[in-house]
Amino acid sequence: MRIIIITGMSGSGKSTAVRALEDEGFYCIDNLPVRLFKSFVDLIDKSGEPFKGVALVADIRGMEFFKGHENAFSKVAKEGHSLEILFFDALDDILIRRYSETRRKHPADDHCSVSEAIRIERECLAGLRNMATRVIDTSEFNVHQLKEFILRLIRGEEKENSLVVEVQSFGFRYGVPLESSIVMDVRFLPNPFFIPELKAASGLDDAVRDYVIDNTVTAAFMDYFFPLLDMLLPAHSQEGKAYLTISIGCTGGRHRSVAIAEATGMHLQQIWPSVRITHRDIEKGH
């Protein structure tokens, strides 16, 4: 049976990973006491239920788990079960920001700052991190990207240096997407918003797309931008990045950025195996 241990830093995306595994047909349980670990695996194994495997969350909330986890893992592995340990992590400033946004209390917070709680948690989890089959840095993932990454990993579609690319349009009026790896400002292009017959349309409509793409300024821009991306994607892949987000912005995120994101995504899809195109703000203010 396939057994996956989900562990790592608080705020690093473990809950998102568990939901993805549940959708994939895994039986998931949160912070099972270590003394019950082998009995639980045996029970699921003999139940005959059509689970793809078991996922167990183990983190700092269940400190008792860390007292005997190595022995428990060893016993299960000796019985022929496939055991994987996925350690979820993120940069400290990212974890701090996520806690400030949710206003949740850090589980290691014993009347100390969040940054100090994170330091304490890292020390407590150091042993599990060293044992991990894979360490997953979620600093640049949003929720949807992390879920997609986990599903690809579980299904065996995620290989080393297999870079997933998302090309997204956005409006600077609503803020730059925090998950952006590359940001391109296309507000210098002619704006269809000021053309009465195009104002209500979007960059997905032929008339707007033609207005933006057929402009000589746009053509000159893409002659530089596309070759730059053709160079950058393999370079990021060789560095081991799992996900690259290319954010293309205009004022409102409805016309120019949408048309350019579509053209960019279609160009990259011809040369790169995994490219997704999304439009964050296309319906805002419509």
| Mean pLDDT per 10-residue segment, the chain (286 residues) | 88 90 87 76 75 82 62 75 88 84 69 83 85 87 83 72 85 91 96 94 96 96 96 83 89 96 96 90 81
Q: State the pLDDT at residue 53.
A: 84
Nearest of 93, 82, 96 to residue 54 by alpha carbon: 82
1 neighbors 38 (Cβ within 8 angstroms): no
Tokens linked to 274: 């995994």
Q: State the pLDDT at residue 164.
A: 84
Q: State the pLDDT at residue 161.
A: 47
Q: How crowded is residue 252: how many other Cβ atoms within 10 Å of its Cβ? A: 21
Residue 48 φ/ψ region, left for φ over 0, alpha for ψ in the -120 to 50 degree band, beta for the rest: left
The domains found in the chain, sorted by start residue, are: 2-154 (3.40.50.300), 164-279 (no CATH)
The SS3 of residue 108 is coil
Alpha helices in 4-68 (DSSP H): 14-23, 37-47
pTM of the model as a whole: 0.59
Q: State the pLDDT at residue 159.
A: 53
Rounded (5°) CA angle 21-145-101: 100
* C-alpha to C-alpha distance for 162 and 125, rounded to whole angstroms: 28
